[in-house]
Amino acid sequence: MISKFVLFLLPCFMMARGETEAFEKDLLLYSADTERECEFFEDIMPHKKRNGSCELNPDVYLNVPQIIARHGYPSEAHIVQTKDGYLLTLHRIPGPKSGKRGGQPVFLQHGLLGSSADWVVNEGQALAFFLADQGYDVWLGNARGNTYSKAHVTYSIKSPAYWNFSWHEMGTYDLPAVLQYVSTHTNRPGEIIYIGHSMGTTMFFVFSSLKPQAAKNVKLMIALAPTAYMTHVRSPIRYLAPFSNDAQWILRNLGFNQFLPRGKILDLLNYECQLLEQRKICENAFFLICGFNKAEMNMDILPVAFAHDPAGSSTKTVLHYGQEIHANGNFQQYDYGKEINMIKYNQSTPLKYDVGKIRSNIYLMYAEKDKLTSPIDVLRLSHKLPNLIGLYRVPNENFDHVDFIFGKDAMELVNKQVLKVIHNFTETDMV
């Protein structure tokens, strides 16, 4: 069966004379790609084939602005340059389909190995669309090094210098730049609602602890799967912890550029996963590290999730978490070794982030079965935050790290709670 989306585009392709043959070739290529995608997921999602034909969501082949537009929302893209020269892409849904504008700005920041796509691909459960429907001005961030923010004013992406960053730089350079841009562009200083997932929360904790003045642009921060302390991590990322300070091992097995685990490293990381899940799931670095939960995953969007994640990041970003695990879970800056630490930090060990300096209003949402963000570590964080306004445990025993964005029950268990919390800090009348 050819997708209704393709049939809808047929008249557009046929408008120009002489393009019929090209369209037919494109149609055949699309059909072949669709069949290959369905064959890949057939053993996991047999319901995707009906009457011998493949049914695949067209969002598999679209980028984020196209996905937003396909679902009927206004779509914008903005480029922001950081002080250290990285070019970041923001995606924006400026309001609901009705055309109303001027709502409260909400900034959504994706997690580890993710992108802005994470907020729009979970059909019927997507937080970005849900907030836009309520009249909010929704901005979607993309951290340096991912699919949409892989550019620099000086460095080539093939250069090790480009990839020399972790979530520390995302917090100290990316967030100050993009949040100031949103504040200026919307003329709503101090009114941004920040919602982060996974690494998106880590970035904010770094940002707000080191740059409290800049963090005043944020009215409220909501943390989905808040990731700071990592003492009780159950994710396979913990297997990298013993090697996270061994430069020779890293160079030999991972390299210092983009995080692309393969060969023996992939086997090391996915051994435990393969005992529980399909091999195809375990070969995807995003689900391998962040977890896969068949009981809660919206299986209908699995091909779309696979098409967009992992979206890319640096090896250093992943290793920074590994270093924390190796250092008894401390929330700390990157460990460069004693000699360089003395130069950078004036001490032989990395500086710890002082979350007690965070003045932002923060609401934490966590899940009991989260493999990357342990409830114990979340509670430790909650006791240190001066302006904690609430702590919410997702009322589902099986909920995991990725289910906050891709879960089949995300609307009821996460999104509606998020909206309830936002309403307590919003004076603007919504749709």
Active site residues: 198, 370, 401
C-alpha–C-alpha distance, residues 137 and 191, integer Å: 11
Name residue 352's beta-bridge partners.
332
Name residue 218's beta-bridge partners.
192
CA dihedral for 64, 68, 69, 73, sign (positive or negative)? negative
In total, the chain counts a number of residues equal to 431
C-alpha–C-alpha distance, residues 1 and 366, integer Å: 41
Q: How many CB atoms are located within 10 Å of the residue 384 CB?
A: 14
CA dihedral for 197, 422, 388, 391, sign (positive or negative)? negative
Residues contacting residue 37 through CB under 8 Å, at least 6 positions apart: 54, 56, 60, 303
Question: What is the separation of C-alpha 15 from the centre of its chain, rounded to a whole number of angstroms?
Answer: 39
Q: For the chain, what is the HEC assignment?
A: CCCHHHHHHHHHHHCCCCCHHHHHHHHHHHHHHHHHHHHHHCCCCHHHEECCEECCCHHHHCCHHHHHHHCCCCCEEEEEECCCCEEEEEEEECCCCCCCCCCCEEEEECCCCCCHHHHCCCCCCCHHHHHHHCCCEEEECCCCCCCCCCCECCCCCCCCCCCCCCHHHHHHHHHHHHHHHHHHHHCCCCCEEEEEECHHHHHHHHHHHHCCCHHHHEEEEEEECCCCCCCCCCCHHHHHHHHCCCHHHHHHHCCCCECCCCHHHHHHHHHHHHHHCCHHHHCCHHHHHHCCCCCCECHHHHHHHHHHCCCCCEHHHHHHHHHHHHCCCCCECCCCCHHHHHHHHCCCCCCECCHHHCCCCEEEEECCCCCCCCHHHHHHHHHHCCCEEEEEECCCCCCCCCHHHHECCHHHHHHHHHHHHHHCCCCCCCC
